[in-house]
Chains A and B, each alone.
Chain A
Amino acid sequence: MDWLLLAEFSLVGLLSGGVLALIALGFVLVYKGTRVINFAMGEFMMIGAYLFWTANVFLKLPWWAALALTLAGIAVLGAVVERFVLRPLAGQPVISIVMATIGLGAVLHGVAEAVWGGANLSLPQLLPRTPLTLGEILLPGQVLWSFALAVALIAGFTAYFHLSKGGVSMRAAASDPVTAYAMGIDVRRTQRLTWMFAGVTGAVAGIIVASMTSLSPTLGTVALGVLAVIILGGLDSIAGAIVAGLIVGLLESLTVAFIGGQARDLVPYLVVLVILMVRPYGLFGTRDIERL
């Protein structure tokens, strides 16, 4: 075994896991805030990336203006989804809501193909490419910067949740909407904000992924692998989301290095399958003990 190769691929894997952790954060925000698993998360990423492409490449706006427009646009989309897809379903069985988010994903996918076409588009390189060398290990600049961005965003959201009034309201509303409402918290507002935040994290992750690879309507499929691993870590924990992102990044990178690129998308699912067979309640999840 080549130890240097192992070290390099492990590091690159962990670092590229930062973006995946950002995607995971999007899932966790929505689950914590509204108890919904958002199967359209990948489509939020994809639409975000397309919006950015439209503003930056098509309309030739500077990157910062394009980014601001994209985030505003995706936040509006999040709010619209909450109002017209999720809210009418409040109180319905979980399976109906899950089906609605899967349907929403299909609709967004179709809209993207109708508007932007199915061909691969490319975003400009946004992140500096200058690599960092650690002894004999070479870390690509894009991977480093994407990791730094993801860390900054995750830290920002965590601070918001714990320090601001709005964040505390969101946590309270997530833990018990009825009681939070009786405490004077506008639960509809916190749920709307939750979806807007999820859109924003998705869009940032989408732009990063698209600028490192290419942009097509299938950009969002990466989110499904992340979802599999979050279920492993526990859907309602931000720490679990970060760990999930890093695990997927590491697994994918090591698979590419030692098994081959074709197996890349397969391995995360396999690992999840095996772990869930051994620990059906997840790695960090609590074991439900039923009292008879």
Chain B
Amino acid sequence: MNILEAEGLTLSFGGIRALAEVSVAVPKGGITAIIGPNGAGKTSLFNAISGFYRPERGTIRFDGADVTRVPGHARAALGLARTFQNVSLFRGMTVLDNIKLGGHHRLRTGILGAMGYLGRAAAEESRLRDEIEREVIDFLEIDHIRDLPIDALAYGLQKRVELARALAMQPKVLMLDEPVAGMNREETEDMARFILDVQEERGITVMLVEHDMGLVMDISSHVVVLNFGQVIASGTPAEVRQNPAVIAAYLGEQAAKQRAA
């Protein structure tokens, strides 16, 4: 069963067509990787699915409902969490406060709550905090940095905090835009392990854009290849690796012919 289905997505910026009739199906519970050369439309696809861009044509179905017209912030509340290519954390806040903002949309207390029902607001807040302690901070092994400001962290840890914040949203689908970009070997291996844990232990469907082919081939259950805004191949990592169109896109026509010969 597919938890997320994009059909015929078309998106252009001026004369440039970023996505042309792109259809992608994300099976529930798996890890789906979107790969392709630079400028292939991977991040555009992510932005269209998470509601940051509005495609000109096409539909997006999430968890059985058509969300094409649902604004991005409401899609997040429905269980579509994402991270960004460049780390996008609230600077000047601590790690814990950043993560708590991920659970923010589940709090109920409104304007009057702050004035009149401080008790309820506090109870709700402490429940959220407990849950985050258990399910996010311990899980991602970031207990030791919880009270540090974001700027004090190494890049790899910042990426992990961003993942933590996305998990605090209790998503059904977690969309990771280049989760290991710029990481060293060790940081990449840690991140790969966490992504697998998220999928296996939490049963959260993962969708990722990544250039690190080693990581993609190791952990993905399903790979979709984009080139010039179009899907040129999809299937298991082994199938995609053998696909001549994929080899051509990555290495050029010449190399593809040589390999075939």
Contacts and interface: CB of A to CB of B under 8 A. Distances in A.
Interface of A: 156, 159-160, 163-169, 172, 175-176, 178-187
For this complex, into which size category does the number of interface residues on chain B fall? 20 to 34
Given A164-B111, A166-B111, A184-B76, 12 more contacts: A164-B114, A164-B121, A165-B110, A179-B88, A179-B89, A182-B52, A183-B101, A183-B104, A183-B169, A184-B73, A185-B104, A185-B105
Contact of A160 (B73, B111, B118): B111
Contacts of B165: 183
21 contacts: A156-B115, A159-B115, A163-B118, A165-B110, A165-B114, A166-B110, A167-B114, A172-B101, A175-B90, A176-B90, A179-B88, A181-B72, A181-B73, A181-B76, A182-B88, A183-B102, A184-B169, A185-B104, A186-B71, A186-B74, A187-B73
A83 to B, nearest CB: 16
Contacts of A165: 104, 107-110, 113-114
5 nearest interchain CB pairs? A164-B114, A184-B105, A184-B76, A163-B114, A184-B77
A187 B72 CA distance: 10
Interface of B: 50, 52, 71-74, 76-77, 81-82, 84, 88-93, 101-102, 104-105, 107-111, 113-115, 118, 121, 165, 169
A147 B3 CA distance: 57
Contacts of A169: 104
Contacts, number: 83
Contacts of A176: 88, 90-91
Nearest to A162: B114
A252 B9 CA distance: 62
Nearest to B114: A164
Given A182-B72, A184-B76, A187-B73, A164 B113 contact: yes
A213 B111 CA distance: 34
A254 B60 CA distance: 65
Contacts of A182: 50, 52, 72-73, 76, 81-82, 84, 88
Most buried by B among A159, A160, A163: A163
B75 to A, nearest CB: 8
Nearest to B88: A179
A181 B74 CA distance: 9
B91 A175 contact: yes
Nearest to A174: B90
Nearest to A156: B115
Contact of A179 (B71, B84, B107, B121): B84
B104 A168 contact: yes
Contacts of B50: 182
A181 B72 CA distance: 7
A163 B107 CA distance: 12
A183 B109 CA distance: 17
Nearest to B103: A183
Contacts of B108: 165
A218 to B, nearest CB: 34
Contacts of A178: 52, 84, 88
A160 B107 CA distance: 15
A169 B101 CA distance: 9
Nearest to A175: B90
Contact of B73 (A159, A164, A167, A185): A185
Nearest to A161: B114
Most buried by B among A159, A160, A163, A183: A183
B90 A179 contact: yes
Contacts of B104: 165, 168-169, 172, 183-185
Nearest to B175: A182
Given A164-B121, A181-B52, A186 B114 contact: no
B5 to A, nearest CB: 21
A13 B104 CA distance: 42
Contacts of A186: 71, 73-74
Contacts of A163: 114, 118, 121
B14 to A, nearest CB: 15
A9 B60 CA distance: 67
A178 B47 CA distance: 11
Contacts of B76: 181-184
Contacts of A185: 73, 104-105
Contact of B110 (A164, A172, A183): A164
A282 B176 CA distance: 40
B111 A184 contact: no
Contact of B114 (A160, A175, A180, A187): A160
A164 B102 contact: no
Contacts of B118: 163
Nearest to B91: A175
Most buried by B among A172, A180, A184: A184
Contacts of A183: 73, 76, 101-102, 104-105, 165, 169
B88 A175 contact: no
